[in-house]
Chains A and B, each alone.
Chain A
Amino acid sequence: MSDVHAHSVAFVRTETLPELPPPAAETGVLKWIRENLFATVPNAILTIVSIYVVYAILSGVLPWIFNGVWDASSLAECREILNGTSGACFAVLAERWPQLIFGLSYPADSYWRPALAFFLLFFAAAPVMFFDLPRKLLLFTAIYPFIAYWLIWGGTIMVPLVALVGFVAGYLVYQRLVTNSFAAGFFGGVAAAFVVWYIGGLLIPDDASDTAMLTAVPSRDLGGFMLNLMLGVTCVSLSIPIGIVLALGRQSSMPLIKWICVVFIEFIRGVPLITLLFVASVMLAYFFPPESTVDLFLRVVIMITMFSAAYIAEVIRGGLAALPKGQYEAADSLGLDYAQAMRLIILPQALKISIPGIVNIAVGLFKDTVLVSVISMFDILGFIRGPLLSSTEWNGVYWELLGFAALLFFVTCYGISQYSQWLERRLATDHR
């Protein structure tokens, strides 16, 4: 073939062909469909079956949703309007949404207070969650719990003020004494806080709440999704620091501290949350005289916090165990003391490893807050299953209500999980 030259053939194309579009089956949507949906015969069958299933579900659900009745005063009226056709009775949401969100007996003219507290929550949480923001914003985070308490429970402003002053006094004493020894600072701070609270308690007149700017709302009147959010936020934010302390305590070389932490963690992990809640609501009521019981909300917060702190401690212990021993030794060789080593070297790495686990527990804990309905607190699920489904007007409405509750929980939990993924990307310092 070596004697074949350009001049020995009849025709030689001298310019390149114009580019043709690729074959229709090899481009764009068609290619994607062919490669992803109909690549092989089993694949194609699966696709067709899936399309049919999706169609079957949507053809049932969508008319049900779009045909929904939003304006009726009872289920019977809904059925009358629908007149035999398929359709949801969203009127129950339209009529009862304030109760689903704020609970059964929260005063209606005060709905703006928890709403404002919820709005401010974003500002308080932002500097903690997004650490690129200026650090000065943390000051607002520090006073947010007191503002939120005052907004939601109302009553005299003196109570949160005294609590705040107590914390500040404790912190000042701690700072003064901690240079000598940590124990002196810690116990001095606690003592100072209690002295301030005790004196403050004496100063607040008994009837201060009657004339307060915001009407006092007892804990029993809290409910709805607000209660779930309050329990979730309070317990998660309390249980992370407690969990860290427990995890470190479990690794401590001091036997007393180590065994206290081990016993606490193992006991709490060995008991179902629902049992702890029953103890909180039923047993503690026996132990305290009727007039001086601890507030029910507080009891539940303590129990859920203990529960989740034990789990978070184990997650963080996993993070601590994952660190190479060299990190601990490096910290020692730099001459750092225990607190410094933990704060500057060990915990930042261990916590980063633990993020998925902690978020997992936080999401689970948030959903576990619906368990309070078994001790007759009307969180959103308890309210739906109890009073709402047993009202004469709405007895028999299930999908609409439970779907609404599921939607609220999904939005919140999906938000938390998206945040954690962002956090992992943001903290990724390894090079992959």
Chain B
Amino acid sequence: MKRTVFFGALTVAGMAASMASAATLDDVKARGSLNCGVTTGLVGFASPDANGVWTGFDVGVCRAVAAAIFGDPTAVEFVPTTGKTRFTALASGEIDVLARNTTWTFSRDVDLKFEFTGINYYDGQGFMVPRELGVSSAKDLDGATVCIQTGTTTELNLADFFRSNNISYEPVPIETNAEAQQQYLAGACDVYTTDASGLAATRASFENPGDHVLLPEIISKEPLGPLVRHGDSDWGDIVRWTLNALIAAEELGVTSANVADMAAAPTDNPEVNRLLGTEGELGAMLGLEANWAANAIAAGGNYGELFEKNIGENTPIGLARGLNAQWTDGGLIYSPPFR
């Protein structure tokens, strides 16, 4: 009998816990700030400046979500997470959304019980070699020593690539990106391989970036995006459609510069009107203000502006849009309609 009571109490406690986490939006509103998980630092994607203010491409997503909820892009508490602590932090409710260049994979979505709310960057694994090596294709790398971060999907991709091309390599296992840069520059390995965006950022920090080339092969798909917990679809919708709003804004020509004017009065374009809340009730359906998307866009600009400001071709990282161009420009970035 006692045991039954005990299990009953446990069940009630469990239900209470799941109910508490079921309304993430209410929790966030009560707290007055969004808890957003970011990396402990990745050039261009998330890093704090000299005043401790976080900036970057992933950070921009967090700020847009906060702006959509509160109208205030600074109402974010950034929680730095490592590759090891990120999923626990999200599952335990320490953070509300994880925007930490995390690859969308089957097992993370299904087995770890997370919900990816979209893709904000299409990445892939690439190779960097010194120019003097005279290599123009990854298939010429037979017998090369390769610096590779241990315990990552890049390690597995690398093994697959070399095996399927029937060439050999010698791995030099390293722990962090910083260590990899030193090893590579010191000549401990011929090739450094990681995500192409990371390679570009690494190369940008070298004294003579021109002495190193990125090989054309991209050997894996790494779709990066923000994710939330399973079990609160309303909250997932807010994050998903905030990201979509940023993407749609670029397509529709809404920028941080003109969003205030366009949101002030209905324009000729009904989709812009629905997006910015001058027509229809899309904001109310999410449980947010009518001008939620206008706030999100005003926070850091639309998707294209965020890209250009943080990782685009005018920054030291200098990434081209490539796959991350709008679908109208031949890329994969595509938002479902706001209707």
**Which A residues form the contact surface with B (CB < 8 A)?**
75-76, 79, 95-96, 99, 104-106, 108, 220, 278, 281-282, 285-286, 289-291, 293, 374-376, 378, 382, 385-392, 395-396, 398
Query: Chain B interface residue count: which class?
Result: 35 or more
Contact of B41 among A96, A374, A391 (CB under 8 A): A391
**Residue picked from A99, A282, A374, A395, most chain B C-beta under 10 Å:** A395
A376 touches B41 (CB 8 A): no
Contact of A374 among B48, B84, B315 (CB under 8 A): B84
B201 touches A286 (CB 8 A): no
A392 touches B41 (CB 8 A): no
B21 touches A75 (CB 8 A): no
Residue of A nearest to B88 (CB): A282
A395 touches B40 (CB 8 A): no
A389 touches B178 (CB 8 A): yes
B80 touches A387 (CB 8 A): yes
Contacts A374-B84, A391-B41 given; does A289 touch B20 at CB 8 Å: yes
A392 touches B51 (CB 8 A): no
- Inter-chain CA distance A396–B182, complex, in Å, is 8
- Inter-chain CA distance A290–B23, complex, in Å, is 13
A99 touches B52 (CB 8 A): yes
B47 touches A281 (CB 8 A): no
Q: In the complex, identify which listed stretch (B89-97, B104-112, B165-173) lies at the interface while the others stay far away.
A: B89-97
Least CB distance from B228 to A in Å reads 14
Least CB distance from B270 to A in Å reads 40
- Inter-chain CA distance A105–B176, complex, in Å, is 24
B201 touches A285 (CB 8 A): no
- Inter-chain CA distance A99–B53, complex, in Å, is 12
Give the chain A neighbours of B94 by CB distance below 8 A: 285, 290, 293
Contacts A290-B21, A386-B40, A387-B80 given; does A376 touch B47 at CB 8 Å: no
Bits for B121-153, please: 1 = Cβ < 8 Å to A, else 0. Answer: 000000000000000000000000000000000
Lowest 8 CB-CB distances: which A-B pairs, in order? A390-B41, A386-B40, A290-B93, A396-B205, A395-B205, A285-B92, A387-B41, A386-B41
A392 touches B317 (CB 8 A): yes
- Inter-chain CA distance A285–B47, complex, in Å, is 25
- Inter-chain CA distance A76–B128, complex, in Å, is 21
A385 touches B92 (CB 8 A): no
Residue of B nearest to A291 (CB): B20
Give the chain A neighbours of B158 by CB distance below 8 A: none
A285 touches B205 (CB 8 A): no
Residue of B nearest to A290 (CB): B93
Contacts A290-B20, A387-B40 given; does A376 touch B92 at CB 8 Å: no
Least CB distance from A76 to B in Å reads 7
